[in-house]
Amino acid sequence: MNFKSPLLFINVVALLGFLWITGFFGIWIHGIKAVSEDAGDIFTQAYPVEGNYTVKISLSNLEKNEGKVLYEEENNKIYVSEVFIDTNSNYQVVFRSSGNYNFSGATLVSGIEHARQNNGYTDILQAKATVAYQGRTFELFPAGSAPLKYKDGDEFSFYLYASDVDPENEEAVEITLSNLYINFWARKPNL
């Protein structure tokens, strides 16, 4: 019985060491970020997604917008995570991107381009947003971004200025995003 305890301990330590060395824990804990930061072994590319994508936003019931899908294809999705009124009485529409990752690499469709630079990565909000209201179209301005904030993706937001819309006369507006980016990370083959 005493002989099995040290052997079990050695096997558990060996298994944990193997999982640590192979990067399993990094991917399990950090997701896409762990894949993207593996600069030596990962090939990366980002390119624009063609098309315009529209979602209807309720101005009278802000909580009703949570979860509305803007983009969905295979394992990539962009949806409204929150709409709120900020301290300047402007609306802020927050989009959440979720993608797919595993030991081979990752994909993420987002408003943010995750590009490789000489000193690492840079994250650039590339998406453009407009709102259609009473037959007119207004440009929305970026409010912020949180690159690879989540295990499976990121977050970005736009301002919808109160002066552009009148929530008392308009229950909902349509927000259209263009210039989304697909970010692709793939493990380089060992030759």
Would residue 21 count as lying in a domain? no
Strand partners, 137: 132
The residues near 49 (Cβ < 8 Å, ≥ 6 apart) are: 71, 109, 180, 181, 182
Would residue 60 count as lying in a domain? yes
Instruction: Tell me the two tokens of residue 80.
Output: 């409204």
Would residue 75 count as lying in a domain? yes
Would residue 52 count as lying in a domain? yes
Q: What is the pLDDT of residue 134?
A: 80
- Residue 45, domain extent: 31-187
8 A C-beta contact, residue 153 and residue 175: no
- Burial class of residue 87 (count of CB atoms within 10 Å of its CB; 0-12, 13-18, 19+): exposed
The Cα angle at residue 158 between residues 157 and 159, in degrees rounded to 5:
135
Q: Which comes out higher in pLDDT, residue 141 or 42?
A: 141
In this prediction, residue 102 has a pLDDT band, given cuts at 50, 70 and 90, of confident
Q: What percentage of the chain reaches a pLDDT higher than 70?
A: 74
Would residue 10 count as lying in a domain? no
Would residue 8 count as lying in a domain? no
Number of structural domains in the chain: 1
pTM higher than 0.75? yes
Q: Which comes out higher in pLDDT, residue 167 or 127?
A: 127
Instruction: Tell me the two tokens of residue 119.
Output: 């000193």
Most confident segment among 6-15, 62-71, 163-172: 62-71
Mean pLDDT of the chain: 82
How far apart, in whole angstroms, are the C-alpha atoms of residue 156 and residue 106? 19
Count CB-CB contacts under 10 A for residue 65.
22
Using DSSP bridges, classify how beta strands 76-85 and 105-110 pair: parallel, antiparallel or unpaired: unpaired
Q: What is the pLDDT of residue 4?
A: 63
Would residue 4 count as lying in a domain? no
Instruction: Decide if pLDDT at 25 tops 50.
Output: no
**Residue range 47-56, pLDDT digits in tens:** 999 999 999 9
Q: What is the pLDDT of residue 120?
A: 65
